Amino acid sequence: MIRRAEKAKRRSRDSADSLEGAEAMDDRAIKELQGRVRGEVIGTDDARYDDARRVYNAMIDKRPAAVVRATGVADVIASVKAARATGIPIAVRGGSHSVPGFGTAEGALVVDLGRMRGIRVDPASRTVRAEGGCTWGDFNHATHAFGLATTGGIISTTGIAGLTLGGGIGYLTRGHGLSLDNVRSADVVLADGSFVTANEEENADLFWALRGGGGNFGVVTNFEYRLHPVRDIVGGVMFFEVEDAPQVLRAYDRYIADAPRELGAFFAWQIAPPLPFIPEDRHGDTFCAMVVCWTGPPEQAQEAFAPLRPAPVVAQWIDRMPYPALNGAFDGLVPPGLQHYWKAAFAGPLTDGAIEAHLAHGPKIPVVNSTMHIYPINGAVHDVAADATAFGHRNAKYATVIAGMWPDPAQNEANIRWVRDYYAALAPHSEKGGYINFMAGDDADKAAANYGRHYDRLRTVKAKYDPENVFRFNQNVAPAA
């Protein structure tokens, strides 16, 4: 076993054309790499190290060998080659939002794309090229200027790269599919430092795997997406009493599969933050909520929302606004530096049993930052053939996420317990796998179920493009033997 690992390490050194003989990311290796890149190479002795190693989830406290703040494709190529030459592992970081903290690793070279945020919109072809370090805030800002958008996440600080490669669920999913359904092409630095483009014509097997296989296949330096006309939307949130949750859930389940595709909506549990639209004496109370986004004619919005209001609304904030405004509206609930522990499952219809499980655990939500969302998987997602991309649960009806997020590490145990208990209660009413982008770090053993029907095909593509599993800090796909 050890001999095999040694051989693989030697092979990887031989294939890399630089930094031969270096044993680890020591001062010399860091200096050499700094000579080859335009960005900063930050080693453990650097005053910037603690800032550079920090990721969004404050529970993650890893000490990588060095962090490269890449400024372009050349830096990424040089970094991958340097890591291969020294034999140290590589962690790739886009927007840094991975809950298990996959954007860093103990002793690894972190390739941080956070400086690579260039975007070019082509309004004539309704496409956009965006670098791998962009956030959805960057992306929506750039495309909104042209009255265009594509499916992204619901929080503006999340990275486009990690989110897209795993799936991409958001307000526009029902109308325009998952984020990955809108990818036309991707530029990728592979495990040997070579550069390829993947699309339907070139490296089609890689293109298939990138769309659902997460960060397993290489570093995506640039994505090309399809865009759609979306300018102003009508959206926001309505709060209902906890005891009305069964009615709200049943109404949602009845309506959402065939509702107009201009409607994005998801169910949530939420402790009321101290916001002006919520009566002051209800601040801090727990509610169930519907979050909505209507991209159709504004005058039709209320009609579209009506079936989602089967019970009295206690408080609501719904307004006409630019799409990027809704994308940033809830950012304040999830600032950087919270502790995160999440679990997720795909599910079918909201049966009585599932609703009972939600009612038993949802109202116990411990803090204002935490939540549980039930996202619809339907509409345009179901227009795409199940085998067209590597996304393994296209036929699911819902993606459920129990997102534990809290500020005080002293509360870790109680918050983690809430997530685990809720998840266990939903398990009998869920599919085996969950959305890879919502899973916790202790879910590594569920990778096959999470990738679902495509896991074996993913393993074959992994064996072709990354046989030594260089890109392994992710929901890992084991290369086929």
Ligand X SMILES: Cc1cc2nc3c(=O)[nH]c(=O)nc-3n(C[C@H](O)[C@H](O)[C@H](O)COP(=O)(O)OP(=O)(O)OC[C@H]3O[C@@H](n4cnc5c(N)ncnc54)[C@H](O)[C@@H]3O)c2cc1C
Please report, as ranges, the residues that interact with ligand X according to CB under 6 A. 56, 92-99, 102-103, 113, 132, 153-155, 158-159, 161-163, 165-170, 214-215, 219-220, 334, 437-438, 473-474
Compute the distance between CA of residue 170 and CA of residue 172 in angstroms, rounded to an integer. Answer: 6
Select 97 or 429, whichever has its Cβ closest to ligand X. 97
Total count of residues recorded for the chain: 481
Closest approach, Cβ 184 to ligand X, in A, equals 16
Residue nearest to ligand X (CB): 162
Select 311 or 478, whichever has its Cβ closest to ligand X. 478
CA neighbor of 97 nearest in space, from 479, 437, 396: 437
DSSP, residue by residue, 256-273:
HTTS-TTEEEEEEEEEPP
Closest approach, Cβ 108 to ligand X, in A, equals 11
Closest approach, Cβ 168 to ligand X, in A, equals 5
Residue partners of 472: CB distance under 8 A and separation at least 6: 89
Answer for the pair 331, 248: CB distance below 8 angstroms, yes or no.
Answer: no
Closest approach, Cβ 52 to ligand X, in A, equals 13
Select 355 or 465, whichever has its Cβ closest to ligand X. 465
Select 78 or 314, whichever has its Cβ closest to ligand X. 78
- Residue environment code for 303-312, b if the CB has 16+ CB neighbours within 10 A, otherwise e: ebbeebbbbe
Cα 280 to Cα 275, 409, 436: the distances in Å are 8, 28, 38
Tell me the backbone φ, ψ of residue 283, rounded to 5 degrees.
Answer: -60, 135
Select 314 or 477, whichever has its Cβ closest to ligand X. 477
Closest approach, Cβ 335 to ligand X, in A, equals 9
Compute the distance between CA of residue 75 and CA of residue 467 in angstroms, rounded to an integer. Answer: 23
Closest approach, Cβ 234 to ligand X, in A, equals 19
The DSSP call for residue 58 is T
Select 30 or 92, whichever has its Cβ closest to ligand X. 92
Closest approach, Cβ 377 to ligand X, in A, equals 11
Select 87 or 434, whichever has its Cβ closest to ligand X. 434
Tokens of 162: 């990690």
Closest approach, Cβ 154 to ligand X, in A, equals 4
Closest approach, Cβ 161 to ligand X, in A, equals 3
177: left (phi over 0), alpha (psi -120 to 50) or beta: left
Select 22 or 376, whichever has its Cβ closest to ligand X. 376
3-class secondary structure for 438-461?
HCCHHHHHHHHHHHHHHHHHHHHH
177: helix, coil or strand?
coil
- Within 161-285, strands assigned E span 183-189, 195-199, 219-226, 228-229, 232-240, 263-271
Select 166 or 212, whichever has its Cβ closest to ligand X. 166
Residue 321's DSSP bridge partners are 233
